[in-house]
Amino acid sequence: MMLLHKRGNPALLLPEFLKEVYLGQRTGLLHVTRGEEAGVTFRSVNGELVSGSSIAERGRLGESMVRRGLISRADLGRALVIVSQKGRRLAPVLRELELVDTPSLEQALALHIREMLLTALLWDEASLLFEDQELPDAPAEDLTLRCSTAELILELVRRIPRSEIVRRGLGDLDRALVGAGSPFLRLHRITLSPADGYILSRVDGSTSARRMIETAPLPVEDMERSLLGLLCAGVVRYVPAPTVMAPQLPAAGALPSPRVR
Query: pLDDT tens digits for 140-162?
Result: 445 556 568 888 899 999 999 88
Length of the chain as a residue count? 261
Provide the pLDDT for residue 254: 52
Q: Is 25 helix (H, G, I), strand (E, B) or coil?
A: coil
**Is 257's pLDDT higher than 60?**
no
Judge residue 250's burial from the number of C-beta atoms within 10 Å of its C-beta, 0-12 exposed, 13-18 middle, 19 or more buried: exposed
197 vs 254: which has the higher pLDDT? 197
Beta-sheet strands, E only, within 67-167: 126-132
Q: What is the dihedral angle through the alpha carbons of 98, 103, 105, 109, rounded to the nearest 10 degrees? A: 160
pLDDT cut 70: percent of the chain above it: 80
**Is 135's pLDDT higher than 50?**
yes
Beta-sheet strands, E only, within 46-134: 48-54, 126-132
> Does residue 20 contact residue 125 with C-beta atoms inside 8 Å?
no
The mean pLDDT value for 61-66 works out to 86
The mean pLDDT value for 56-75 works out to 82
**Is 210's pLDDT higher than 90?**
yes
Query: Among 3-12, 52-61, 243-252, whose mean pLDDT is lowest?
Result: 243-252
Provide the pLDDT for residue 142: 54
Give the list of residues 6+ apart from residue 76 with CB closer than 8 angstroms, or none. Answer: 62, 63, 65, 66
Nearest to 34, CA basis, from 64, 13, 62: 13
**Is 222's pLDDT higher than 90?**
yes
Provide the pLDDT for residue 4: 72
**Is 188's pLDDT higher than 60?**
no
